[in-house]
Each structure stands twice: as structure tokens, then as C-alpha cells.
């Protein structure tokens, strides 16, 4: 049995009840076959794959908070600190009822690869809670966030572990957590990123994941003699990543025809009205169906996914496993050009295989959505030097980082003869850096 197969089967056996974690490990380790085969004895001797698939530590805690009816609620909180070989732990916090240990572990594991791929000094972590901010009052969200931080603050720090946002955790939640952290530490340091602009946040962080996605899509299309101009783009989600992906896609000359939430999707053949979408989602925190109040000629499709819509570029920006084999078949049938992941692991492994076999350009989330965490690093940098960069400075650094990620992926693709298998190339690049850092620092 090869070393890769050995470790995959151990992980599958040991963590049978953690399907998302297994899926992410299998996905990455399968990409590494060529690089491991070059020096299998060395990697085996240093137990590199065992080390990479085992988190440094998992912190799990109780989060009690009172709702507006005066009732006590108990949620589960997590922080999974995966690997800090290349820099302090870094990664977001997800607040969603589906959060469990398997999801936390898959996210922390892939964050470690993503952060390594940026070439920046950031290790990997993820955290969150099964708390659902949807439908809660501001006071309830604040009560939850304060309680969550009352426990989390013990384990984080500006040089140790720097959380940020993710699904269900935006500027409001980061603000409440930062306030509590500052109070508990009695110190003003940038231990969270995604902060508001009035208290240490970075210009451009809000836009960074979506903008970064489009910058790397643009690089990839150019490398394949294509461009975004006049392309039809199909986007899923209507949250932070989706909204700013739509904004930049429009700016780069494409037409975006969809947006969605967990209830259904909007199809607007005239192009999504971004201002309406921002008002519905960022201001009113309402359902996507409300878009019909702004554009009655758009179509609302309940309980279905956007992948049935004909387009050129498909950008899944909602959640994991939202694009499966059937969806991939639709995309191929509709002569799509590319699928690029704004979300983390939105495409199932069967769907990725089918897309690659059918020559659809595919960019994995760990490359395509790395602009968010990269700009978090720029926020940390600004906090450390007590200065604020302008929007255009941050944006041009972000663009450079995304172009550099794509250039590194291409270099590996050439070296390993991978053609346009950017997924394997991204994993290999991230792995080489991590492995080198771990071996150099001893066991």
C-alpha cells in the first residue's frame, strides 16, 4: 500500500463519523500522490501525513446565554488549532446550526493548506458554534458573542491564534466579540480580524474574499486565453463572499445572473441588481425572495440550486457540498467554462472529478477564496504597526497575492505535468511549504 493510501485508510477508519473531515483529507492527500512518490521514505519516516492530518489541539466548550424571553440557552463552541508550523493559527469562526466537530475539522485542515498556499506567515485554525444568528435580536447575538468570547479568549492572542468571520459571523459578531476580548484582556490588540473600520479593521477586508476570487479567476482565464468580459456568471449564496464576488465580476465586465440563499435562488436575466441585493442581505437581513419586490420580472426558484442555470463561469459561494455530480453534469451540458470555489469545499469530490474529465477549468477554494484570509493578514500587519493603509493599497496588495498564488500553482502544474489540474497543484504547493517547515523545526 502506498503511504498516501495507508494514511487515508487510517483516517477513514478512525473518524468514520466525520464525513466532511474525511472528504477534505482524502481530497488533499489524493492530490499529493506525485510529490510523495518522489520521496516516499522521507515523508514516511517523518510521519508527515500523520502530522498533517492530526490537529495540534481541539478546544470544545459550553456557551450559555439568555434569550429575550429570559430563557437560558446552551450552545457548543469550538476552536480547532490545526497547525502553526508556518505562522500563528489563523482562520474564521462559523455560527450555523449545522456546525459540528467534523465540519470544524475539515475547515481547520483545509485552512492550513490555504494559508500555506498564500506564502504568508499564517498557520491554520477554525472555530465556531452551532448557534444560529438568524432571527435573533441584536441583544441576543451580543449575549451569545460575549459568552462565546468569555471562554475563547483563554486560547487566542495576537501572536498565537487570530480568529475572523465565516458563515453567520460578520462585522456585527466580530464587533461584539472584540469588545468582550478587549475587556477581558484589558488590552487593545488585533487578535480578531474583520473588525469595524472605527476600531482597527482594514479597508478592503469586507470585499477581499469576493474580490480575490475574481482576481484569481481573471488570472486563470487569461492563462487560458479567455477573459471575463461579456461572460455570464452564475453565483450561489448571497452573503459576504457572494456579494463582493458579484460586485467585482460586474466591474470586470461580466454579467451575473443569479444569487441564492438556503431557501432558493433568484435568476435575473438582466443581471443581478447589486444595490438591491446589498439592501436585502446587508441591511434588512431578509430572504433572497425579497428581490422580487425590487424586480418583479426576475424569477425566484424555491428549494433549488443555481447550477441548473446556463452560464459560462460558475462560482459556488455558499457552503460545503452544494455542487454535486448531477450539478456538474448540468454545467457540462450547458457548456460551462469554469467552476471556481468562493466557498470552502462546495464541490463534491465526484463532481470535481467529472468537471476535470470534461475539461472544465476548476479552481479549488483553498486557492480561489484565499483573498479573505490574506487580507486578514494585512489587517494584522496594520494593527501591529498602528497605521491604516488606504483601500487602494490593500486592494492592490490583494490582487498581487492572488496573482502570485496562481503563478505558484502554474509553476507546480508545469513541474509535475499536471496540465490544468489546478487542484492538485494547489495542494502540492501548500504541502511542500508545510512539510519543509515541519521537518526543519523537528518533531
**319 interacts with, out of ligand NDP, ligand 2IT, none, CB within 5 to 8 A per kind:** ligand NDP
CA distances from 257 to 254, 271, 310 (A): 10, 5, 9
Length of the chain: 443
Site string for ligand 2IT, 91-130 (x = CB under 6 A): xx------------------x-------------------
Of 123, 200, 316, 372, which lies in the binding site for ligand 2IT, with binding defined by CB under 6 A? 372
Confirm or reject binding of residue 193 to ligand 2IT (CB under 6 A). yes
The enclosing H or E element of 438 equals: helix 422-440
Q: What whole-number distance in Å separates Cα of residue 247 and Cα of residue 24?
A: 29
Helix (H, G, I), strand (E, B) or coil at 340: strand
Using alpha carbons, select from 137, 132, 139 the residue that is nearest to residue 75.
Answer: 132
| Distance in Å, CB of 379 to ligand 2IT, minimum | 8
What's the angle, vertex CA 114, arms to CA 113 and CA 119, rounded to 5?
95
Using alpha carbons, select from 401, 313, 319, 329 the residue that is nearest to residue 362.
Answer: 313
Q: Which stretch binds ligand 2IT (CB under 6 A): 225-233, 275-283, 303-311, 370-378?
A: 370-378
Q: Which stretch binds ligand 2IT (CB under 6 A): 292-300, 328-336, 372-380, 405-413?
A: 372-380
Of 220, 280, 367, 373, which lies in the binding site for ligand 2IT, with binding defined by CB under 6 A? 373
**237 interacts with, out of ligand NDP, ligand 2IT, none, CB within 5 to 8 A per kind:** ligand NDP
> Is the CB of 242 or the CB of 276 nearer to ligand 2IT?
242
DSSP string, 73-130: EEEEEEEEEEE-SSSSEEEEEEE-TT--HHHHHHHHHHHHHHHHHTTSS-EEEEEEES
Residues that bind ligand NDP (CB under 6 A): 96, 98, 165-168, 170, 209, 237-242, 261-263, 317-319, 342-344, 369, 372
The enclosing H or E element of 248 equals: helix 240-251
Helix (H, G, I), strand (E, B) or coil at 261: strand
Q: How many residues bind ligand 2IT (CB under 6 A)?
A: 11
Cell of 351: 463532481
Confirm or reject binding of residue 201 to ligand 2IT (CB under 6 A). no
Q: Which stretch binds ligand 2IT (CB under 6 A): 149-157, 316-324, 371-379, 412-420?
A: 371-379
> Is the CB of 128 or the CB of 336 nearer to ligand 2IT?
128
Which parts of this chain interact with ligand 2IT (CB under 6 A)? 90-92, 111, 164, 166, 193, 344, 372-373, 376
Amino acid at each position: 500500500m502506498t503511504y498516501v493510501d495507508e494514511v487515508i485508510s487510517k483516517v477513514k477508519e478512525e473518524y468514520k463519523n466525520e464525513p466532511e473531515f474525511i472528504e477534505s483529507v482524502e481530497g488533499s492527500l489524493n492530490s499529493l500522490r506525485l510529490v510523495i512518490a518522489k520521496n516516499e521514505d522521507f515523508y514516511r519516516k517523518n510521519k508527515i501525513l500523520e502530522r498533517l492530518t492530526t490537529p495540534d489541539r481541539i478546544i470544545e466548550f459550553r456557551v450559555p446565554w439568555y434569550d429575550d424571553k429570559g430563557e437560558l440557552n446552551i450552545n457548543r463552541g469550538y476552536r480547532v488549532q490545526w497547525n502553526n508550523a508556518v505562522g500563528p493559527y489563523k482562520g474564521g469562526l462559523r455560527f450555523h446550526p449545522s456546525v459540528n466537530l467534523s465540519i470544524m475539522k475539515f475547515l481547520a485542515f483545509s485552512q492550513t493548506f490555504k494559508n500555506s498556499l498564500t506564502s504568508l506567515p499564517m498557520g491554520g485554525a477554525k472555530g465556531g458554534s452551532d448557534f444560529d444568528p438568524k432571527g435573533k435580536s441584536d441583544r441576543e447575538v451580543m449575549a451569545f458573542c460575549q459568552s462565546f468570547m468569555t471562554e475563547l479568549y483563554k486560547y487566542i492572542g495576537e501572536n498565537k491564534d487570530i480568529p475572523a468571520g465565516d458563515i453567520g459571523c460578520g462585522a456585527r459578531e466580530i464587533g461584539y466579540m472584540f469588545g468582550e476580548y478587549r475587556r477581558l484582556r484589558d488590552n487593545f490588540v488585533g487578535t480578531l480580524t474583520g473588525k469595524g473600520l472605527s476600531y482597527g479593521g482594514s479597508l478592503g477586508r469586507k470585499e477581499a474574499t469576493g474580490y480575490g476570487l475574481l482576481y484569481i479567476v481573471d488570472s486563470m482565464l487569461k492563462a487560458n486565453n479567455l477573459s471575463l468580459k461579456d461572460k455570464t456568471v452564475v453565483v450561489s449564496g448571497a452573503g459576504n463572499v457572494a456579494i463582493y464576488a458579484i460586485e467585482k465580476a460586474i466591474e470586470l465586465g461580466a454579467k451575473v445572473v443569479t444569487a441564492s440563499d438556503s431557501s432558493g435562488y433568484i435568476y435575473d436575466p438582466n443581471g443581478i441588481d447589486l444595490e438591491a441585493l446589498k439592501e436585502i442581505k446587508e441591511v434588512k437581513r431578509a430572504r433572497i425572495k425579497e428581490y422580487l419586490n425590487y424586480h418583479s420580472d426576475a424569477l425566484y426558484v424555491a428549494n433549488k440550486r443555481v447550477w441548473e442555470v446556463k452560464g459560462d463561469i460558475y462560482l459556488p459561494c455558499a457552503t460545503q457540498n452544494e455542487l454535486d455530480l448531477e450539478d456538474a453534469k448540468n454545467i457540462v451540458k450547458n457548456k460551462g467554462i469554469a467552476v471556481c470555489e468562493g466557498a470552502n469545499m462546495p464541490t463534491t469530490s465526484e463532481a470535481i472529478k467529472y468537471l476535470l474529465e470534461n475539461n472544465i477549468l476548476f479552481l479549488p477554494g483553498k486557492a480561489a477564496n484565499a483573498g479573505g484570509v490574506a487580507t486578514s493578514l494585512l489587517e494584522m500587519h496594520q494593527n501591529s504597526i498602528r497605521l491604516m493603509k488606504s483601500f487602494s493599497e490593500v486592494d492592490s496588495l490583494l490582487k498581487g497575492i492572488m496573482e502570485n498564488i496562481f503563478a505558484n500553482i502554474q509553476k507546480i502544474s508545469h513541474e509535475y505535468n499536471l496540465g490544468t489540474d489546478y487542484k492538485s497543484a494547489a495542494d502540492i504547493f501548500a504541502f511542500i511549504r508545510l512539510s519543509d517547515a515541519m521537518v526543519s523545526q523537528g518533531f
